[in-house]
Amino acid sequence: MVQESLQWETHPPPRYKWLVFTFSPTHTDNLPLSTPTAAPHTYLQPHIGVTYTAVDGVKQSFNDSICVTGPRDSFFFNVMDVAQKRDPKSFMYTLSVWSAYITSVQGLEAHPEDSTYWQLLSYGIPLTLGAGCYAVSHGERLEVRFSKYKLQGTGQPEDKGCS
């Protein structure tokens, strides 16, 4: 039988704690007693690196990527800002005057009349949050893709004709 004892140890900086497990036998046999050891010193990095890509998914006129770094508490918009500052030609974007809705990238504008929009993706998977709400992670692959949406229906009854 092994008795499990838990102990908290604090390492600099004081706000981070690690749980250290120490195992010791309950019987007096020939097994050596384990010695508590400190958890490895792992600190959150102050900055994260992400890959950001802007893609024209309709006409395939561009597909540009850039690696950027920013604070670890960055959002998708922060990544877009850093990319725009580093390479304005490839990563310039504009927002709607009404909200934080991306209206253009590289001068290519989204229009409801053409059913086009700028889709946000992470690792190729569409995001359910907007660029101002989506917190990015170190090593993530972000993308804005110019896309077309399909209307689900016109609201008019289908004319099946008479036969």
Which pLDDT belongs to residue 153?
61
Closest listed residue to residue 129, CA positions, set 85, 70, 76: 76
d(CA 120, CA 125): 8
Sheet holding 47-56, edge to edge: 63-71, 47-56, 141-148, 116-122, 125-126
Please give the domain boundaries of the chain with CATH numbers for all domains.
1-39 (no CATH), 47-148 (2.170.130.30)
Which pLDDT belongs to residue 96?
82
For 21-52, what is each residue's pLDDT tens digit?
444 445 445 545 555 555 454 556 788 999 99
For 64-74, what is each residue's pLDDT tens digit?
999 999 998 99
Ranges of the chain with pLDDT below 70: 1-44, 99, 152-163
d(CA 52, CA 75): 12
